[in-house]
Amino acid sequence: MTHVLEFSFPVEGRGFSKAGDAASRVKQLLKQAAIPTAFIRRAVVVAYEAELNMIIHSNGGTLELLVSQEEVVIRAMDIGPGIQDVEKAMLEGFSTAPPEARKLGFGGGMGLPNMRRSADELHIESDPELGTVITAVIHLRANTV
């Protein structure tokens, strides 16, 4: 699928104070692109959770927003250290957040489950060497609202 629009936002690992900046920008851009509000809402939830995941767990990476008339794709690509057990990570309440994140109230174990609920497709590829790529797809068709 070719996307008309491609944006990318750098996300810093442990950059808690900036949490939400990328997701807010995603919201603004989707509004400009005439995407219906219901889809924007779902895309923003996905983007925020993806952004938070990178902040809490990763050594940093990039959040991508890809848009075409058919779909909105949110892709989070980080540079490590990778998810040990993807299936477990998908369970509600399961979290491997480090103590420093928990001290700040993050790491409730709802990130990936929330993303799965809000997206139509969720793909996770993780490698301890290369890092993690999470791709969430939202189809812009009326029957998926």
3-state helix, strand, coil in the chain (%, to 5): 40, 25, 35
What kind and span of H or E run contains 136? strand 131-139
Distance CA 69, CA 132 (A): 27
Interaction between residue 20 and another protein (CB under 8 A) = yes
Strand, coil or helix: what is 55? Answer: helix
Site for another protein (CB under 8 A): which residue of 32, 87, 129, 142? Answer: 32
Interaction between residue 55 and another protein (CB under 8 A) = no
Q: Site size for another protein, by CB under 8 A?
A: 23
* Residue with tokens 């799965």, as numbered in its chain: 116
Closest contact distance (angstroms) between CB of 104 and another protein is 12
Site for another protein (CB under 8 A): which residue of 18, 31, 123, 141? Answer: 31
Segment near another protein (CB under 8 A); pick from 4-12, 55-63, 77-85, 96-104: 4-12
Segment near another protein (CB under 8 A); pick from 61-69, 82-90, 95-103, 127-135: 61-69
Closest contact distance (angstroms) between CB of 43 and another protein is 11
| Burial bucket for residue 11 (CB in 10 Å: 0-12, 13-18, 19+) | buried
- The β-bridge partners of 63 are 9, 76
Interface with another protein (CB under 8 A): 4-5, 7, 20, 23-24, 27, 29, 31-35, 37, 40-41, 44-45, 48, 67-69, 140
